[in-house]
């Protein structure tokens, strides 16, 4: 099957929804970060998201964990999902030709009472040989190219995550069922995010569940991006073909583009995505006003409009952002070195009854939490 690049508005059946529709979803989400790099079992995040059971409809659940592969922490961990057998050899061919595969194995998964039909999962720990990326690309750019290439071109294969020392686990079912399916309790991480999905139009496709991930970015997202139509055209012209027509995919790419390619800080990237109102910009002191005016004027097509709350995980920390009029819930709780961010306070209290503080961030105000520097 080939992708028609003639007009990205009319993608081929490669678009995963058989209805050829854009996916939008209402959802529940939670994540936490242990800033002291204390690793905890996936069981904790499973318990928290289970508390938000009713925010989903059983058509998608997923998790991302950081710090879960300490034994391979300098290698890219590729989580691959296969729903066609012949895709396996095609993908492995690409990996062998372009990367050095240090280790590969099946991602342990077991059919449960709730989940009986499912794709096949493998993970590959790979390195980018210097000769492969050369001077023209960073290893990260090279990986992005390969990952997007597999997702775009190989029918029946999908890269779920591709970062170092992190991984995403997701599928069709309630999140607690997905956690059981992958045996999430085996993994220990210092950042976890989880998602419970209530899709309005995409039938069960495992790749369509959250988190969406590229490199070590992973995003779980509750909302609908009403500006999607321009966001995907913008990001498409910057070399990120959107293959799945989901809001969330676009958000992931925009973050990667702004931070990694255009070298914006996380704070600035967040104010591109949820820009302050002009009346607030007008009231800023001169230098700040100048900067925000430029950010909005330059990246207007990357700003996200419509209701959203998302959690953005990466190897250095966790970011949460709301749309600029706060049309989706988001609360932040703190306890010692741990920061919890969730759609519902109850699910934070479920796993941490004695919080030091809890508050709802203002609309458009990012919450950015970094891990402490790693002890040498």
Check 27, 242, 270, 352 and give the catalytic one: 27
The DSSP 8-state label assigned to residue 119 in this structure reads -
| CB nearer another protein, residue 203 or residue 300 | 300
Residues 15-74 that bind another protein (CB under 8 A): 20-22, 24-26
Please identify, among the stretches 39-47, 94-102, 231-239, 348-356, the one whose residues bind another protein according to the rule CB under 8 A: 231-239
Q: What are phi and psi of 367, to 5 degrees?
A: -110, 120
Residues 315-354 that bind another protein (CB under 8 A): 324-325, 327
Encode burial over 316-325: b for 16+ CB neighbours within 10 A, e otherwise. Answer: ebbbbbbbbe
Helix (H), strand (E) counts: the chain: 11, 18
Q: Which of 13, 237, 360, 370 binds another protein (CB under 8 A)?
A: 237
Asked if residue 295 binds another protein (CB under 8 A), the reply is yes
Asked if residue 278 binds another protein (CB under 8 A), the reply is yes
Q: Which of 52, 98, 303, 338 binds another protein (CB under 8 A)?
A: 303
Asked if residue 203 binds another protein (CB under 8 A), the reply is no
Per the DSSP assignment, residues forming a β-bridge with 158 are 81
Q: Which of 41, 57, 305, 315 binds another protein (CB under 8 A)?
A: 305
Q: Going by DSSP bridges, is the β-strand pair 367-370/157-161 parallel, antiparallel, or unpaired?
A: unpaired
Q: Which of 1, 106, 131, 297 binds another protein (CB under 8 A)?
A: 297
Site size for another protein (CB under 8 A): 46
Please confirm whether the linkage preceding 211 is cis (ω < 30° from 0).
Answer: yes
Catalytic, 27? Answer yes
Q: What are phi and psi of 297, to 5 degrees?
A: -70, -35
Asked if residue 279 binds another protein (CB under 8 A), the reply is yes
Please identify, among the stretches 31-39, 73-81, 121-129, 305-313, the one whose residues bind another protein according to the rule CB under 8 A: 305-313
Q: What are phi and psi of 200, to 5 degrees?
A: -100, -15
Tokens of 286: 């001169």
Query: Which stretches does DSSP call E strand in 259-316?
Result: 308-314
Of the candidates 250, 181, 184, the one whose C-alpha atom is nearest the C-alpha of residue 212 is 250
- Beta-carbon contacts of 228 under 8 Å, excluding residues fewer than 6 positions away, are 22, 247, 250, 306
Residues in contact with another protein by CB under 8 A are 7, 9-10, 20-22, 24-26, 200, 223-224, 226-230, 233-234, 237-238, 262-264, 268, 275, 277-279, 291, 293-298, 300-301, 303-307, 324-325, 327
Residues noted as catalytic: 27
């Amino acid at each position: 099957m080939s992708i028609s690049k003639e007009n990205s508005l009319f993608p081929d059946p490669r678009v995963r929804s058989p209805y050829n529709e854009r996916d939008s979803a209402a959802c529940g989400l939670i994540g936490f970060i242990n800033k002291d790099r204390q690793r905890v079992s996936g069981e904790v995040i499973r318990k928290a998201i289970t508390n938000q059971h009713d925010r989903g409809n059983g058509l998608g659940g997923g998790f991302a964990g950081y710090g879960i592969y300490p034994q391979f922490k300098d290698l890219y961990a590729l989580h691959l999902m296969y729903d066609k057998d012949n895709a396996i050899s095609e993908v492995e061919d690409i990996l062998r030709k372009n990367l050095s595969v240090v280790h590969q194995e099946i991602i342990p998964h077991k059919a449960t009472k709730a989940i009986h039909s499912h794709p096949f999962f493998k993970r590959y720990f790979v390195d980018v040989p210097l000769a492969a990326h050369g001077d023209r690309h960073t290893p990260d750019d090279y990986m992005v190219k390969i990952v997007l290439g597999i997702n775009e071109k190989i029918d029946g294969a999908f890269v779920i995550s591709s970062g170092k020392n992190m991984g995403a686990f997701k599928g069709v079912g309630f999140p607690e069922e997905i956690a059981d399916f992958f045996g999430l309790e085996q993994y220990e991480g210092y950042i976890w995010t989880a998602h419970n999905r209530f899709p309005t139009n995409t039938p069960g496709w495992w790749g369509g569940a959250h988190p969406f991930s590229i490199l070590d970015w992973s995003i779980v997202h509750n909302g609908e991006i009403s500006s999607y139509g321009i966001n995907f055209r913008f990001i498409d012209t910057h070399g990120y073909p959107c293959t799945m027509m989901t809001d969330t995919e676009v958000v992931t790419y925009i973050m990667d583009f702004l931070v990694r390619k255009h070298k914006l800080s996380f704070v600035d990237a967040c104010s591109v995505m949820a820009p302050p109102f002009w009346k607030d910009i007008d009231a800023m002191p001169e230098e700040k006003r100048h900067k925000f005016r430029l950010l909005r004027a330059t990246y207007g097509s990357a700003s996200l409009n419509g209701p959203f709350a998302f959690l953005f995980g990466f190897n250095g920390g966790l970011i949460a952002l709301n749309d600029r009029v706060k049309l989706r819930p988001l609360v932040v709780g703190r306890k010692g070195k741990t920061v919890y961010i969730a759609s519902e306070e109850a699910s934070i209290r479920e796993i941490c009854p004695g919080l030091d503080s809890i508050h709802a961030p203002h609309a458009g105000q990012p919450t950015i939490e970094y891990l402490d520097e790693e002890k040498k």
